[in-house]
Structure 1
């Protein structure tokens, strides 16, 4: 039962990342169409695009980190025995967990400093910190998902192997 809840959580993170991709694409498409056909621009279009892209990046990190679908170099891994492949996977995931945890702490500092400095968008004078906070939530979700992946790699390696096999067969 616990596994089903975690899988739903993972699926929700991936859905949120996909929604942010759609929002960024819609923002860019609408902005370009309005500018090209009507010579009108959306106020703060550039700021929204920049801030939404930041959100997208951090939620994308969350979505790709658990599944291991980020860019990898598998030259050594492909030539290692299954035991050493698992050791490499655990080590790489622990390094990723450390790096993303430090990044999350640093990004939280950026959220608080943006809030304290009252940084605003150019046209509408909207505060930037809520965008930074949503990006931080994506980074925090990445830490949780990488921690779950690490746990499963160490204690439930068969579950990870099944997920990766089902992901590859779906492609």
Structure 2
């Protein structure tokens, strides 16, 4: 599982680097030479969506997301386990629903022939990459839910 999480983090990191490179290059060309990279805004937005989706996948498994632990830390062990199960179930359902909607959007984009403004590149692969990241989050959320349920049963 550690290797999978590292791979997912690497994917998110690569997309963040690409966003930074695209943004710096676009700004430099615009201010220095009065030129622009076609579809740079759409590209950066698409890359950002992919990076966020894959980052969510990592935090789903590792629980490194923002949380408020005041009640959790004061609760007895059995209540913490119950809270973990509830939180994992909500996360899994939310990620599963989001994944389903993104795959629907991918299909709609593919059927409609939706393209970018300047280069007329199809947008469905970007939406599919984002949906795949959220799909990874849903799968990891399901595994986390199973793990939390097993821990709850053994307490």
Q: What TM-score comes out, normalization by structure 1 length?
A: 0.83
Give 1:146's aligned residue: 141
Give 1:20's aligned residue: 15
Structure 1 position 103, deviation (Å): 0.7
Counterparts of 1:117 and 1:128, CA distance in 2: 10
**Which one of 101, 107, 110 corresponds to residue 105 of structure 2?**
110
Structure 1 position 156, deviation (Å): 5.5
Give 1:137's aligned residue: 132
Give 1:31's aligned residue: 26
Is 2:38 the counterpart of 1:43?
yes
2:116–2:122 contact (8 Å) kept in structure 1: yes
* TM alignment of 1:64-75, pairs within 5 A: 64-75=59-70
Counterparts of 1:59 and 1:33, CA distance in 2: 28
SS at match of 2:101: helix
SS at match of 1:115: helix
Q: Number of paired residues?
A: 152
Q: Please, what is the CA RMSD of the aligned residues?
A: 1.4
**Which one of 121, 124, 127 corresponds to residue 119 of structure 2?**
124
Counterparts of 2:24 and 2:59, CA distance in 1: 25
* TM alignment of 1:50-69, pairs within 5 A: 50-69=45-64
* Worse overlay, 44-53 or 121-130: 44-53
Q: What TM-score comes out, normalization by structure 2 length?
A: 0.91
1:114–1:128 contact (8 Å) kept in structure 2: yes
Which structure 2 residue ranges, 5 or more long, are not aligned?
none
* Worse overlay, 123-132 or 62-71: 62-71
**Which one of 4, 8, 13 corresponds to residue 3 of structure 2?**
8
1:64–1:70 contact (8 Å) kept in structure 2: yes
